[in-house]
Amino acid sequence: MSTPTIPRHPVLNVPTYRVVVAINFAVIVFDGYDLIVYGSTVPALLQKQSWHLTSVDAGHIGSIALIGMFVGALLSGSLTDRYGRRPVLLASLGLYSLAMVLAAAAPDPVTFVLARGIGGIGFGAVVPAAVAITVEWAPESRRNFCSAVMTAGFAVGGIAAAGVAMWLLPVAGFRILYLIGALPIVTLVPLVWWLVPESPAYLNRRDALADRVRPTPITALLRGRTGVATALFCAANFCVGVIVFGLNTWLPHLMATAGFPIRSALLFQLLLNVGAIIGAIAGSIIADRTGARPVVTWMFLIAAVCISLLGVAMPAAALYSIVLFAGVGATGTQIVMFGYVATHFAAHLRARSLGATTSFARLGGVAGPTLGAYLITSSLGLFWSFGTFAMFALIGAVAAVFVPTLIRAPKSADGALPVRIS
């Protein structure tokens, strides 16, 4: 058998998929930065006397962006099917950039809340569009890897948000941090417009339908084995959302409660995100060779074991290692899951499935910090607090291992690739 020809970029004369991965990586870096930088600015917002914010207010504002992400992820599936992956990628990128400008200039809390809500819609819509266009340009044997490299930008953005805040927040205040998050409007939007071509899968389907692409109805994801797969993916994504956002919000506080100084407590959060990058890259390479189901299942189990151990007294060096592996199994699993969903469903279901399952991850993201707050105030102790998050990892592992295989039938008359029961 001959090796499939890899398309080369007409401007840069390199494989097109590499250009798409590189630019979308930068898009997701800013997506992660813009979402996570809020947590870094909360102390400054609480100290802004004219805004009169309480800790409860700050928590509600944090949830606004995640609720917006839920809406954006749901909208992304139908919009990318109707208008294409590239227009939605551009629109969502521009939307969250402009929202960051509004947040930086906000004269009062109401405007700031509005900015975070609008930005959340962009944060939520950009990921399904970026994953879809990346997977559909990537060679079939490297789809999980390309998806993971690109979405690992979220963890890089989180690390950048913490580092930039440590450097600039004490001397320049919170507004400059949000302005930095708006840089894509003058950097990445022109690059996407110039260098990122539309998905070949979308173009092929559009041509087959004589330029009339009808979005796949959401009910197509709810039938037979496809419906079972969708439900299990939604459950697994909800669980990983609870873990990722719950730990990123409360891990420093929980470790400080355990007696670690604040600098060491923040180091735990840094290691959590470093582990995410390691898990994403390693997990995706293995997934391309063996399939994503066993990889995601084992990563969930690694998370369950490591998160449970965080509630056990042990030397600091051992805890640092455990947190690193917890990051492999937590955020790392979420990143590999994007590729799992994207490669599991046929092309005509890909955008819808990514939007639906990602929206459940965002719901988990809303629930995670709230659950953490309840656990802290309930005086259950570290063991049961971490054990509760570990339970969600176990549920995610069960959901992942039972996802049914979907066999794709030959192309139908409308150019779609339907899924039939195996």
Question: Residue 216: what pLDDT?
Answer: 61
Question: Residue 386: what pLDDT?
Answer: 87
163 has pLDDT over 70: yes
Q: Which of 62-71, 287-296, 366-375 reaches the highest mean pLDDT? A: 287-296
Question: Residue 350: what pLDDT?
Answer: 81
- Distances in whole angstroms, Cα of residue 342 to Cα of each of 96, 118, 148, 354, 359: 23, 26, 11, 7, 14
Question: Residue 407: what pLDDT?
Answer: 57
Question: Residue 418: what pLDDT?
Answer: 38
Question: Residue 199: what pLDDT?
Answer: 86
Question: Residue 233: what pLDDT?
Answer: 94
Question: Residue 159: what pLDDT?
Answer: 81
Find tokens 């494989």 and name the residue.
Answer: 15
* Domain 9-211, CATH homologous superfamily name and number: MFS general substrate transporter like domains (1.20.1250.20)
Give the Cα-Cα-Cα angle 150, 154, 156 (nearest 5 degrees). 95
**Contacts (Cβ under 8 Å, ≥6 apart) of 206:** 84, 212, 213
Question: Residue 422: what pLDDT?
Answer: 26
Average pLDDT, the chain: 83
**Contacts (Cβ under 8 Å, ≥6 apart) of 203:** none
Question: Residue 253: what pLDDT?
Answer: 67
CATH for 216-422, among 1.20.1250.20, 1.10.10.10, 3.40.50.300, 1.10.220.110? 1.20.1250.20
Name which residue leads in pLDDT, 162 or 240: 240
Question: Residue 128: what pLDDT?
Answer: 87
Question: Residue 421: what pLDDT?
Answer: 28
Q: Alpha helix (H) ranges present in 138-290?
A: 143-151, 153-172, 175-180, 188-195, 200-208, 224-257, 262-290
345 three-class SS: coil
pLDDT band at 266 (very low <50, low <70, confident <90, very high): low
334 has pLDDT over 60: yes
Question: Residue 365: what pLDDT?
Answer: 81
Q: What is the pLDDT of residues 240-262, one digit of tens each?
A: 999 988 887 777 667 777 777 65
pLDDT band at 26 (very low <50, low <70, confident <90, very high): very high
Instruction: Parse the chain into domains and list their residue ranges.
Output: 9-211, 216-422
Question: Residue 187: what pLDDT?
Answer: 93
Instruction: Please give the span between the terminal C-alpha atoms of the chain, in angstroms, as a whole number.
Output: 26
Instruction: Give the percent of the chain with pLDDT over 70.
Output: 89
The answer to whether the predicted template modeling score (pTM) of the entire model surpasses 0.95 is: no
22 has pLDDT over 60: yes
Name which residue leads in pLDDT, 285 or 60: 285
Q: What is the pLDDT of residues 384-415, one digit of tens each?
A: 888 999 999 999 999 999 998 865 544 433 33
Q: What is the pLDDT of residues 274-294, one digit of tens each?
A: 888 899 889 999 998 888 899
Torsions phi, psi for 3 (to 5 deg): -75, 130
Question: Residue 419: what pLDDT?
Answer: 35
Contact 193, 313 (CB under 8 A): no
pLDDT band at 417 (very low <50, low <70, confident <90, very high): very low
Question: Residue 410: what pLDDT?
Answer: 43
138-141 contacts: CB < 8 A, separation 24 or more? Answer: 138/17, 138/20, 138/21, 139/4, 139/6, 139/17, 140/4, 141/288
Number of H helices, E strands in the chain: 16, 2
Name which residue leads in pLDDT, 305 or 222: 305
| Residues forming beta bridges with residue 419, ordered by sequence position | 408
> Which run of H or of E encompasses 408?
strand 407-408
Contact 178, 104 (CB under 8 A): yes
4 has pLDDT over 70: no
Two tokens at 317?
Answer: 């060096």
Question: Residue 214: what pLDDT?
Answer: 59
Q: What is the pLDDT of residues 129-149, one digit of tens each?
A: 998 899 889 988 888 889 888
Q: Which of 78-87, 176-185, 400-409 reaches the highest mean pLDDT? A: 176-185
Question: Residue 320: what pLDDT?
Answer: 87
- In the 8-state DSSP scheme, what is residue 7? P
Name which residue leads in pLDDT, 162 or 411: 162
351 has pLDDT over 50: yes
Average pLDDT over residues 198-226: 71
Two tokens at 307?
Answer: 């998160």
CATH topology identical between 9-211 and 216-422: yes
Question: Residue 36: what pLDDT?
Answer: 78
